[in-house]
Structure 1
Amino acid sequence: MDMNEIKEIFFQECEEQLAELETGLLAINDGDSDPETVNAVFRAVHSIKGGAGAFALDDLVAFAHVFETTLDCVRSGQLEPSADVVKVMLKSADVLADLTYAARDGGSVDKERSDALLVDLEALARGEKPGGAPIAAAQPAPDAPDFEPVPFSFDDFDDVEPALAAERFTVTFRPRAELYAKGNEAALLLRDLAKLGEATIRCNTQELPDFDALDPEGAYLAWDIVLLTEKSEDDIRAIFEFAEWDCTFEVTSGAAETEAVPVAECEPAEAGPMTPVPFDMTAFDAIIESAPPAEAAVPAQDAFVERRQADRRAADASPTIRVDLDRVDRLINLVGELVINQAMLAQSVNESTSSDRSAINLGLEELQQLTREIQDSVMAIRAQPVKPVFQRMSRIVREIADMTSKSVRLVTEGENTEVDKTVIDKLAEPLTHMIRNAVDHGLETPEKRLAAGKPEEGTLRLAAKHRSGRIVIEIADDGAGINRQRVRQKAIDNGLISPDASLSDEEVDNLIFHPGFSTADKISDISGRGVGMDVVKRSIQQLGGRITISSTPGQGSIFTMSLPLTLAVLDGMVVTVAGQTLVVPLTAIVETLQPEASRIHRFGAGQRLISIRDMFCPLIDVGRVLSFRRDQADPAASVALLVETEGGGQRALMVDAIQGQRQVVIKSLEANYDHVPGIAAATILGDGRVALILDVDAVVAGTRGDAAKPELSLAAVG
């Protein structure tokens, strides 16, 4: 493996560490006082810093070092993780991510912003608020004893017997100048080695020149260590993993001893009889912590040891491998073709007159089952939680809140809800637009919230859940809600509707999705250019989804996006409508039934209801909604599909006949043709024909004249 591949692995690990950092800081901000949460945050920054030092990413190392120092103050109890402190750390996590991505992809980072955060972090580490005011130290937990530092000497343990299972190792360590040039420190390596057990450390000064010949950037000292430990040789070598290119070291094992060995001793190489000198590790810690950031040691080996230990734990729990996404995409495409060919083969067998069809049918059933298992397994590979996308939104909220001088708290739910990777990749842009819109337009300023009797801090909720074979994402705020009077007036001013148009609340709300529509009074970096919600709707429609609004004046708004779980395959019911073949997603169908004339009831002008178990359900003629026919079909001669809509209600879709249940491969209609109201996508049937996949919720909405045909709705009211 060459250095570029190792570096790429490092950046992949950085993404994981950044995600863990964000998660931990948000948990602390929400009141999580578990010390392990703080430790996890510290380890994330520590690991990034260690790897960056190995690749000489100086800007990243310098920022991470100061960040790590402040986190260590929190970890040791010297700094209370208050809301203001965590706010600085969240911003620092954003800059750390920017530095990481800049190191990976090139480009630059806002130096003014990063320098300002460095000053704030250093102030916090000194016990001051950003700006110089003193900050309260963390209070000890109730019932916790008072703590005072006490000098500690390892020589007190000369008579302590080691564990019987301990083994003796001899380690020879000789750094080269390159080790110090990269920010590593021999003292840290020795300290970490001493943590593995009981160590005797002797400093070898044989190569130390006279003072006049001394090179300040040279490396002249070496160390001989005798280590008595229960750890393995691999654990010892792991400490030097990041430094192995810049030093020479040897590890040899010997028989375990029962005599105690002093932990650390140091003497010149050519001295007379050795006189043990206590080797106080705390002194090294004090020297290292007092060093300025530019000259700070980079304990890359610490980070690697931690990652190696984490990797071992992960390997014991659930082994994983990294696979190039293009390979998975090719595999999914092949599985899709396999599904189509299996359907074609089944169609050919059913149409044949072979005398041995029973054996062929048995083989086809086994092939179908195998194909389904392969398809399920492949789709599971691409299924990923929405957590990474949700975490990115936290940063958007912080930035927009600062720009608008608002106090906003983001609450996320259902972060582990899984969806196809393709859907996740295309979610970021519409979610970003909606989050920016919710903070800028939805939430009031702190003064207005207090005047309205609300908390000064606004709440934004981002939730994901599975419903009827789809993923539903909600963005809810507790702001002022949509000002429908203002939206209507803007629409009139822009010529979107006539002044005397009669619109329902729902139709007024949906005006914000019209291209070029904006209620902002002035253009800013956040809004006012008329680009946003129409982009959101178009992006969602391209994914085969839809978006709805529910707003209550004074209480807030809820934007709901409904998207398919996957863009590859689905189980569907193949039906016939006015001579056309359609596919209805099976997840939307509750039951099928043959309507009886006595159960059909007329309602209003041309509307019909069907009585199902003492309940009346609207009966929708799919052929008429999709303009396949002008006249309504006879319900008694049709088949009704009872479906559950996105809003939770039920409707009965009337079709001419059911051909059967089938698994179909989804083909994008918009990519090959154009958006068709009421149609989600297309597929290829076993006989080679193209069939349209029905968008159930859009067809239901089409009976109310809204989402299925937005252009007709606007024209009608104009």
Structure 2
Amino acid sequence: MAQALNQDPQLVEDFLVEAREHLANIEARLLEIEQGAHTPETLNSAFRSFHTLKGLAGFLEYNVIQEVAHEVESLLDLARNDALQLNGPIVDVVLQSGDFLASCLRSIEVNKLKAEPPPMEDPAALLDRIRQAAATPQGLEGAADEDLEDRDTSLAMERPKAGGLEPSRESSTGSDAAQLEPAAGPKRSEASLVKIETGKLEYLVEMVGELMIAESMLHHNPDLGEARSPRVQRDLSQLARVTAEVQKTAMAMRMVPIGTLFRRMTRLVRDLARKSGKSAELELHGEDVELDRTIVEELADPLVHMLRNALDHGLESPADREAAGKPAAGKVRLKAAHQAGQIVIELSDDGRGLDRGRILAKAVQRGLVSADANLSDSDVYHLIFEPGFSTAEKVTDVSGRGVGMDVVRKHVSRLRGRIEIASALGQGTTFTLRVPLTLAIIDGLVTIVGGVRYIVPIFAVREMFRPTPERLFSVEGRGEMVLVRERLLPVVRLSRRLGIEAKSEDPCEGVMIVGESEDRQYCLLVDELAGKQEVVIKSLGPTFGEVRGVAGGAILGDGRVGLILDLATLFGGIEHAA
């Protein structure tokens, strides 16, 4: 007996990749239609995606997917021929069909290695709804609203895996933005895109990192350094140039446009706004900004939690907004940009803003700060990141339990990033996330303490200087302080933090590094500086992965291992200087 086509792992994998691209395209096109910013080609693009899904599913004998895709295709064909009005409830039905097909794909993904067909949900109720929509020329009136109330809006925002793909599955070396619109515009030549497993790409990047380390060790090799042969020096220079180009290309292959993540938020905002009875518009800026695909994946959860809070607590109801002289529809803006070797992501709204007094009162009530604490606005706003902290008067199924914002801080810290908050009561709030371009390679400042080398990420360094006695102070309750640009900053002796013996206990014989973490500045005292170097980050494994103050390791040019410092945890627990 011949094996069924849907038992071929490669065919199934190819189907999952292409089907997810089409579902992403469908969702994007339907949201454009609902917002009125569309052309006839927009509807045709969604129609073609359903048509292609139907054909692919039929080929692999996924009958449930084929039947649902066929019914939605027929529905959209009526709209293409002006026999059906695509109003909000009709769009809901089509989007729910896409969600259903996405759940079918997840079932195939989980069960693809099993001999029996994957279990899928019963599509009868959905098919009835689609047929009812097709039989109502003027469009449905609220037929899908009840389902929207029961729908978990988190389904609209699955963790993005670089173009909708799961990790270690197939990915594309081309632009993910182009993948999201397979049916729109002229079709790209098949030869211009090569789909490869993400695992192979990650292995390639790892090997390029090893190549960089080997090249650096050659460059610092004393035997080669003493060589006077012009040919040897020329060959070493050529090797360095080629290695740098290969490294640059390999890292570019890991980069994806953040628009793949931003566009997913459009659906989330739409569903949250309708669920809460509010009107909201999402503006996207900087969708072409590229960053490491791993960071894109990790940013999904923080943005979801922040958008939930913005919609539920930030934006007022239409009536309250009009009473305050604002447009009935609130505005939420997502913006991304490059800045000083980092990616800056801003999430802002024009809602009620953060109430400093309420946040401080709640923090005092919970014992997080003392009643007489002298805190800046930034310090007060950052209290919302404490676990379980919430000023919501009532708990909703969207937010209000105080779980979420602490998750945001943990995720961003894990990415070696930081969060800044700016807010004006009655005008809105802006959250600014600063994260590195990549998690694989960083520019590091190599420091020495007690003969041991440590690497401080350059992005966290503000300046360096050798202190003088008149700039050093000892403040009661705060310990050692140093005067930097008319401001007293706490001093962190790296030797004491890591339990090693410093070259000298006199701070004037060492070097101060002004570092910044979570919007706070401190001075890190080290024995000396050994220079700047681009290093490949290596994991320390589960045994040492949780060591406080250490983010990873790196092999330096001379073959030694240097530990990469995590300034956020090194500086933790020190009071912020006024």
TM-score by length of 2: 0.75
Amino acid across the alignment from 1:322 = K
Aligned match of 2:263 = 391
Q: What whole-Å deviation, never above 9, does each CA across 1:632-659 have from its counterpart, x for those lacking one?
A: 855xx88898999999x99999977553
Please, what is the CA RMSD of the aligned residues? 4.4
1:321 is aligned to 2:326: no
Counterparts of 1:594 and 1:517, CA distance in 2:
39
5+ residue gaps, structure 1, are 133-306, 611-616, 699-706
Q: What does residue 467 of structure 1 align with? A: 339
- When residues 327 and 484 of structure 1 are mapped into structure 2, their CA distance, relative to the original with a 3 A threshold, is same
- 1:623–1:516 CA distance, 2 compared to 1 (3 A): closer
Spell out, residue by residue over 1:134-155, the C-alpha distance to the aligned partner (whole angstroms, 9 max, x if none).
xxxxxxxxxxxxxxxxxxxxxx
Contact 2:389 2:402 in 1 (8 A): yes
Counterpart of 1:127 in structure 2 is 138
Equivalent residue in structure 1 for 2:436, among 557, 564, 587: 564
**Do the aligned partners of 2:29 and 2:43 also contact (CA within 8 Å) in 1?**
yes
Cα deviation for residue 117 of structure 1 reads 5.0
Does the C-alpha gap of structure 1 residues 579 and 456 become closer, same or farther in structure 2, counting only changes over 3 Å? Answer: farther
Q: 1:353, 1:319 → 2: CA distance?
A: 43
Confirm or deny: 8 A CA contact 1:619 1:652 kept in the other structure: no
| Percent identity (aligned) | 38
Change over 3 Å in CA distance of 1:670–1:633 after alignment to 2: farther
Provide Cα deviations, 1:178-213, integer angstroms capped at 9, x if missing partner.
xxxxxxxxxxxxxxxxxxxxxxxxxxxxxxxxxxxx
Native 8 Å contact 2:494 2:524 kept in 1: no
Alignment of 1:130-529 (within 5 A): 130=141, 313-315=187-189, 319-347=192-220, 349-350=221-222, 354=226, 356=228, 360-529=232-401
User: 1:482, CA displacement in angstroms?
Assistant: 1.3
Q: Residue 685 of structure 1 aligns to which amino acid in structure 2? A: L
Structure 1 residue 78: Cα displacement: 4.5
Residue deviations 1:57-96 (CA, integer Å, cap 9, x gap):
3433333334333433443344555666656554554444
CA distance in 2: counterparts of 1:352 and 1:20, whole angstroms: 55
Asked if residue 545 in structure 1 is aligned to residue 550 in structure 2, the reply is no
CA contact (8 A) 2:335 2:346 kept: yes
Q: Per the alignment, do residues 369 and 70 of structure 1 end up closer, same or farther by CA in structure 2, a change over 3 Å counting? A: same
Contact 2:314 2:351 (C-alpha < 8 Å) held by counterparts? yes
Structure 1 position 354, deviation (Å): 4.9
Q: CA deviation at 1:12?
A: 1.1
TM-score by length of 1: 0.61
CA contact (8 A) 2:449 2:494 kept: no
Q: CA deviation at 1:513?
A: 0.9
The one-letter code matched in structure 2 to 1:663 is: E
State the alpha-carbon separation in 2 of the partners of residues 362 and 644 from structure 1: 40
Larger Rg: 1
CA contact (8 A) 1:19 1:391 kept: no
Structure 1 residues 350-393: Cα deviation after superposition (integer angstroms, max 9, x where no partner): 37785557654443333322222222121122111223322332
Answer yes or no: is 1:60 the counterpart of 2:71: no
Does structure 2 conserve the Cα–Cα contact (< 8 Å) formed by 1:382 and 1:420? yes
What CA distance in whole angstroms lies between the structure 1 residues aligned with 2:15 and 2:553?
42
TM-aligned CA distance change 1:543 to 1:486, over 3 Å: same
SS of residue paired to 1:476: strand
State which of 57, 80, 85 in structure 2 corresponds to 1:75: 80
Find the residue that maps to 2:189 and give its secondary structure.
helix
Contact 2:22 2:182 in 1 (8 A): no
CA distance in 1, matches of 2:491, 2:451: 12
- Matched residue, 2:25: 20
What is the deviation of 1:8? 2.5
Report the CA distance between 1:496 and its aligned residue: 1.8
C-alpha distance 536-594 of structure 1, shift in aligned 2 (>3 A) = closer
Q: CA deviation at 1:21?
A: 1.9
SS at match of 2:352: coil
Post-superposition offset of 1:314: 1.6
Q: Distance in 2 between matches of 1:596 and 1:498?
A: 34
**Which amino acid is the alignment partner of residue 12 of structure 1?**
V
Structure 2 distance, partners of 1:363, 1:623, is 44
Once the two structures are TM-superposed, the CA of residue 50 in structure 1 deviates from its matched residue by 2.5
Matched, 1:8 2:8: no
Say whether the 8 Å CA contact 1:409–1:457 is kept in structure 2: yes
For residues 569-593 of structure 1, give each alpha carbon's deviation from its aligned partner in whole angstroms, at most 9, with x where no partner exists. 1233434578664445556789x89
**Cα distance change of structure 1 residues 47 and 622 upon mapping to structure 2, 3 Å threshold:** farther
Q: d(CA) in 1 for partners of 2:452 and 2:301? A: 36
Decide whether the 8 Å contact of 1:18 with 1:97 is kept in 2: yes
Distance 2:207 2:490 in 1: 37
Q: Kindly provide the amino acid, as one letter, of the partner of residue 324 in structure 1.
A: E
Check the 8 A contact 2:418/2:518 in 1, yes or no: no
Q: Partner residue of 1:50? A: 55
CA contact (8 A) 1:471 1:563 kept: yes
1:404 CA drift (Å)? 1.9
Tell me, in whole angstroms, the C-alpha distance in 1 between the residues paired with 2:335 and 2:491. Answer: 32
SS in 1 for 2:196: coil
Provide the C-alpha distance between the structure 1 equivalents of 2:573 and 2:344, rounded to a whole number of angstroms.
Answer: 25
Deviations 1:14-62 (A, max 9, x none): 1111222223233334443432223222222222222223334343333
Name the SS of the counterpart of 1:12 in structure 2: helix
Task: Note closer, same or farther for the CA distance 1:626–1:58 as it changes in structure 2 (3 Å cut).
Answer: farther
Equivalence for 1:114: 126
Which amino acid counterpart does residue 535 of structure 2 have in structure 1? V
Match status 1:666 vs 2:542: no
> Secondary structure of the residue that 2:215 maps to in structure 1?
helix
Q: Residues 308 and 371 of structure 1: is their aligned pair in 2 closer, same or farther, counting only changes over 3 Å?
A: closer
Amino acid at match of 1:336: G
Quick one: higher RCO (CA 8 Å, sep 6+), 1 or 2?
2
Kept after mapping to 2: 8 A contact 1:19/1:388:
no
- Cα deviation, 1:285-323, whole Å, max 9, x if unaligned, reads xxxxxxxxxxxxxxxxxxxxxx9999994227x621111
C-alpha deviation, 1:403, in angstroms: 2.8
The aligned counterpart of 2:557 is: 686
Cα shift at 1:344: 2.8
Answer with 58-67 or 83-92: which moved more: 83-92
SS at match of 2:296: helix
3-state SS of paired residue (2:397): coil
* Post-superposition CA distance 1:503-555 (Å, at most 9, x none): 22111111111122222344443234332111111111112212222111111
Asked if the contact 1:119–1:130 (Cα under 8 Å) also holds between the matched residues in 2, the reply is: no
